[in-house]
Each structure stands twice: as structure tokens, then as C-alpha cells.
Amino acid sequence: MTTYRQPGTVLTDHRFTVPLDHARPDGPTIEVFAREVVAAGKAGRDDLPWLVYLQGGPGYGSPRPVGRDSWLDRALEDYRVLLLDQRGTARSTPANRRTLAGMDPAGQAGYLAHFRADSIVRDAELIRRALLGEGRWSVLGQSFGGFCAVTYLSLAPEGLREVLITGGLPGLDATADDVYRRTYPHVAAKNAAFYDAYPQDVEQVRRIARHLRDNEVRLPAGGLLSVEMFQTLGVMLGMSDGAHRMHYLLEGAFDGDEPSDVFLRQVEAHTAYAEAPFHAILHEPCYAQGGSATRWAAHRVRAEFPAFDALEDDAPFPFTGEMVYPWQFEQDPYLVPLREAAHLLAGRDDWPALYDAGRLAANEVPVAAAVYHDDMYVDRELSLRTAAAVRGLRPWITNEYEHDGLRNSGGRVLDRLIRMVRGEV
């Protein structure tokens, strides 16, 4: 362990060895990294309850705090916080094109199959026992981290003191097809809102798309910036400031008649999977359970929404959202070495269940969940069905915040959830 200080906080870095496959505890192992954060004035207190943070994703590491920034400031009033780098992310044992290069596609697919919510929860339970013994801790799950929290309630509720979820109540029996049939219309609505806010960008976006259609444009790392890849920038539009950041990105798109270097660098930062390659691989499998193969659901379901394939002079250009497509494994250099493994995982039909409906119906752990009314990434109606299916879960439905409300509310979202789970509101 390494302990150090930042303004207002004391941080301790932890590493834990866990099985790659929890069904084979004597088999290969990996490391999971976690950063403990406690308020400076409370560092010596052993009675502080623990709050483990489960980041959105899959495939992204926990936040890197600077002092008591964002929601952490509110959390540190009451908790000792553990920022967990879920297996395969950030400082945990990485899973990417380089670390998996020595495996054949079947080996890569078999390895990555152990990186879903069920394995993350079992890691968390080993870590809880290492830090707390038989003590319980609280969980805060954002987006995919909320999916993991519901899996936690299904697999190991005995480890939980309370659960807080923001923008992350999954459909308990929804397939990937169900999810995308619901989210494409949400993305279309965000497109309309973007162009309403910035009507001057309609022609600029058309100009970019026409240039990409008629020319081969490469991103700084060598990936192809196709029309379809350009469309995936729409993933930004579900965040509170996404439309504004999109506008500023687009306004500097050209130096004369050619895409500017700054634009290409910024586009690559938003579209390439250097940081989280297995997000692309496991995004759809995180919905799969009970014998259903995803079979590139977003790609197949997109055919039901032909407006997303349009590049017409008389219609605003349509951006897509948080969808992953098979052609990205041909165009993104960080994904190309993993394309065969991705195809194998898309065809897998024996995924284990992630949620236990019976156990959730008998739940005794206090749960509060923020459901964002206009969430582009997690369908509101599926979330509310799950809220009704988990005994004792208190939902808070709000259109005051977008999907990133936890990060951008100055601690207000977290404060309300804490007060809800305690019965104070």
C-alpha cells in the first residue's frame, strides 16, 4: 500500500489479487487496483463506513480525484471512499490489443468473457472481505456501475449496507435488441435538440460528411474517419454539455478545404478505443444472459431506423449514440487486432444470468436510484420496470439532470440519494 495526500484528502493505493475466473479460484489470477480516499480530518477514524464506487463503462477506470472534487466532496462527509478500477481497466491488469496479443481469437474471447458485471461483483466481494472482514459496505454505481450494483444485489446482498444508483437501472430481462430499439429514438431526439440549439451547424455537418464520403481521411493514429465513424460522435449528445462541446468541435473542422489537424485529433479522442478497447467488445454482451447471443444488435436494429443511414442535402445529418458496430473493428487500429474475438463474443449464446429476479423481489438492502427522464443511454421505462421489481427500491425521476448528473450536480444528486436511502426525504 502507498499512502499520500492531496488538498483535503488522504489517499491510499491498494492492489488485490483475484481469480480471472471465479469458478476456478486456483486458476490464473489478475490484479485489481483500488484507491481509498478519506477526508484529511477523518483519516484516523476507524468507524467511517465504506462507500465503493463503480464507474460507468464497461471498460473505464475510476475517476482520478484532485482533492475533494465533484461528487467526492459530498461523499467524504460521511464515507471512506474506495474508487475501484474494475478488472481490465486503468491500473488493474489491462486487457487490450497488446496484453492479449499472445492469444488466438478463441483465447482472447474466453479471457474477455470474464470481464462482465458478475466477475466485477465477485472481485468486489473478495476486496470487501480483505478490507472489512465481515463488515458491510455501501455501493455507488454510475451508469454501467449501476448495472453492476443490481448484479451485486442479486449475487451477494449480504455484503451490502446500502446501494445508490445514478443513471444505471438495467432492464432485468431486456435483450440487446430491446435496448437498441428503445435507445435509437432517444438518440434521434438528442439530434433534433442539438440542431435546434445550433441550426448554423446543419450545413457544417453536411459539409464534413460529404468530404468524408468523397475522400479517404485518416485520423492521427491511422484509423479511417469514415462517414459512419463521424456519426459515432453523437455519443457526446447525451451529456449535459454534449451539444455545446459538439458545436465547438465542429466549428474548427476545416483548414481551407481540408479537415484541420485539431479537428482530427479531437475526433480521434472521442471515437477511438485506445483508452477502453474492451468497452467496444463487451458493450453488447453486458446485456446478454440466459442463452441469448447479441449478434451485433445495434447494427442489426439500426436497419429498423433508416433515418440514421441518410446523407441527404435536405435533411440534417444524423449522429448515432452509444452503439458499437462491427465495422469499427476494421477501422479503429486499437480494435483491429481483437476483431475476431469480438465476433466470437457477439455469437456466444451461453452467457450466465446477471440478475436474480426472485432475490431482487425479496431484497432487504436499502436502495435509492436516480432515473434521468431524458437519458439517452439508459431507457427510462426499462429502469422504472426494474425499480418496481426490486423490493424497497426508491426511484427519483428527474429531468433536471442528464446522464452525467452525478458528476455535474455539485454533489446534489448524491446528497439526495443519501437522504433518500436513509428515509430523510
Same domain, 198 and 159: no
* Catalytic residue from among 196, 309, 349, 350: 350
**Is 403 an annotated catalytic residue?**
yes
Cα–Cα distance measured from residue 418 to residue 48, given in angstroms and rounded to the nearest whole number? 15
Q: How many domains does the chain have?
A: 2
Which one-letter amino acid corresponds to residue 154?
S
Contact 68, 251 (CB under 8 A): no
Tell me the average pLDDT across 79-84: 98
Q: Is 118 considered catalytic here? A: no
pLDDT tens-digit map of 320-344: 999 999 999 999 999 999 999 999 9
User: Catalytic: which of 119, 332, 403, 404?
Assistant: 403
Looking at the structure, do residues 300 and 389 belong to the same domain, yes or no? no
Residues 200 and 265 in one domain: yes
Lowest-pLDDT range of 48-57, 83-92, 285-294: 285-294
Q: Are residues 8 and 155 in the same domain?
A: yes
Q: What is the pLDDT of residues 92-130, one digit of tens each?
A: 999 999 999 999 999 999 999 999 999 999 999 999 999
Last residue of a domain, one of 346, 377, 394: 346
Provide the pLDDT for residue 17.
98
22 is catalytic: no
Asked if residue 169 and residue 31 are part of one domain, the reply reads: yes
User: What single-letter DSSP state applies at residue 157?
Assistant: G
Summarised one tens digit per residue, pLDDT across range 349-369 is: 999 999 999 999 999 999 999
Q: Which of 308, 325, 346 is the last residue of a domain?
A: 346
Same domain, 161 and 12: yes
**168: which 3 cell numbers?**
444505471
> Does residue 18 sit in the same domain as residue 163?
yes
Q: Which of 143, 154, 383, 409 is catalytic?
A: 143
Compute φ and ψ for 168, nearest 5 degrees.
-150, 40
Are both 276 and 299 inside the same structural domain?
Answer: yes
The DSSP 8-state label assigned to residue 319 in this structure reads P
The reply to whether 47 and 157 lie within a common domain is yes
- Together in a domain, 15 and 137: yes
Question: For 171-183, how does the pLDDT look when each residue is reduced to its tens digit (9 = 90+)?
Answer: 999 999 999 999 9
pLDDT of residue 185: 98
Same domain, 282 and 386: no
Task: Categorize the per-residue pLDDT at 315 as very low, low, confident or very high, splitting at 50, 70 and 90.
Answer: confident
Domain closes at, from 346, 379, 408: 346
Residues 409-425, buried b or exposed e (16+ Cβ, 10 A)? bebebbbbbbebbeeee
Asked whether the CA dihedral 213, 214, 216, 218 is positive or negative, the reply is negative
Same domain, 181 and 166: no
Instruction: Give the CATH number, domain containing residue 105.
Output: 3.40.50.1820
Q: Are 277 and 334 in contact (CB under 8 A)?
A: yes
Residue given cell 489470477 in the structure block: 29
Q: Which domain holds residue 249?
A: 176-346
Tens digit of each residue's pLDDT (9 = 90 or more) over 391-402: 999 999 999 999
